[in-house]
């Protein structure tokens, strides 16, 4: 099976433009925001726009797609107003996903901001349980770099939310986040150990997607800054093992790599294909 690799592309000018950009960079799967992720805003996707997105994705063999939720969403919060806004925002995201034919909505758990880890995890699970998720959409909780009171840095956090929620949730592991949280992915042995630990704690059957990013900072630093594939602290050996690991290689890999040093998504897509064995 050829590698499923793509990137986070823009819906500016119409959601279907994200498909065209994906094709231009050589991507076969991808991720989008349904609106600006830095403000509370409802997705505004018309019926014709959604139909064109679905048609162009099908015609070009691009999929699966992921909608990344707003950065403002905090499922772990103890604050009632922020919790309500987060739930409302997530409901609109899963509804937009159904309209676009997008399989996944990805969300960070957020920060407990002093409520404590266990209460934060309970808050996240109960918030997710308030969603009416369409049949063809799956919510993925994403691994985090683990700074401050943010949850999701430990695989145990992800497992707890999956166990406590009544929703049929999945997981998206971000390689840069996991590395920053202390899971050493810089060697083939480290990748194998991390995958085995994830399987033991969460279960590989729950892993639906990988955000494939290298890291500008070292393992366990809790610093979230992405690097080009093979050119960060994870490095070529770790990235090569990730994209070829038998339990990972058939998953969709979504890039959130920077555009710098003359290298863009297209460069990283090609780099992944070069590392594929």
Q: Are 212 and 259 contacting, i.e. CB atoms less than 8 angstroms apart?
A: no
The single residue listed with the structure tokens 């959601």 is 15
Mind listing the domains of the chain with CATH numbers? 5-266 (3.20.20.150)
Average pLDDT (36-54) is 95
Average pLDDT (8-25) is 97
DSSP H helices in the chain: 16-25, 47-60, 80-100, 117-129, 155-164, 175-180, 188-201, 235-244, 265-275
Q: Are 5 and 253 contacting, i.e. CB atoms less than 8 angstroms apart?
A: yes
Q: What are the b/e assignments for 77-96, b being 16+ CB within 10 Å?
A: beeeebbebbbebbebbbbb
Average pLDDT (54-72) is 98
The answer for residues whose C-beta is within 8 angstroms of residue 218's C-beta and 6 or more apart is 233
Q: What is the pLDDT of residues 77-115, one digit of tens each?
A: 999 999 999 999 999 999 999 999 999 999 999 999 999
Q: How sure is the predictor about 53, in pLDDT bands with cuts at 50, 70 and 90?
A: very high
Q: What is the pLDDT of residues 164-221, one digit of tens each?
A: 999 999 999 999 999 999 999 999 999 999 999 999 999 999 999 999 999 999 999 9
| CA 22/CA 7 separation, integer angstroms | 7
Q: What is the pLDDT of residues 129-177, one digit of tens each?
A: 999 999 999 999 999 999 999 999 999 999 999 999 999 999 999 999 9
| CA 24/CA 63 separation, integer angstroms | 15
Summary mean pLDDT of the chain: 97
Dihedrals phi, psi of 136, to nearest 5 degrees:
-95, 15
Q: Determine the pLDDT at residue 1.
A: 56
């Amino acid at each position: 099976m050829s590698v499923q690799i793509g990137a986070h592309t823009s819906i500016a000018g119409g959601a279907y433009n994200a498909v065209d950009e994906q094709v231009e960079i050589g991507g076969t799967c991808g991720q989008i925001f349904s609106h600006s992720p830095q403000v509370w805003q409802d997705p505004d996707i018309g019926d014709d726009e959604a139909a064109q997105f679905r048609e162009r994705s099908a015609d070009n063999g691009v999929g699966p797609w992921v909608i990344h939720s707003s950065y403002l969403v905090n499922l772990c919060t103890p604050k009632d107003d922020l919790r309500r806004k987060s739930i409302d925002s997530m409901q609109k995201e899963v509804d937009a996903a159904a309209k676009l034919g997008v399989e996944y909505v990805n969300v960070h758990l957020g920060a407990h901001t002093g409520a404590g880890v266990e209460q934060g995890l309970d808050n996240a699970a109960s918030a997710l349980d308030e969603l009416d998720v369409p049949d063809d959409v799956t919510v993925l909780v994403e691994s985090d770099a683990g700074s401050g009171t943010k949850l999701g840095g430990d695989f145990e956090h992800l497992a707890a939310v999956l166990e406590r929620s009544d929703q049929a949730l999945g997981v998206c592991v971000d390689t840069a986040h996991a590395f920053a949280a202390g899971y050493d992915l810089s060697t083939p042995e480290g990748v194998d150990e991390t995958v085995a630990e994830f399987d033991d704690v969460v279960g590989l059957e729950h892993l639906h997607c990988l955000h494939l990013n290298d890291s500008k900072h070292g393992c366990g630093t809790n610093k979230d800054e992405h690097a080009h594939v093979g050119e960060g602290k994870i490095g070529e050996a770790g990235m090569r093992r990730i994209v070829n690991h038998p339990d990972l290689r058939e998953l969709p890999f979504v890039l959130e790599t920077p555009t710098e040093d003359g290298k863009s998504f297209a460069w990283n897509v090609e780099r992944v294909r070069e590392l594929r064995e």
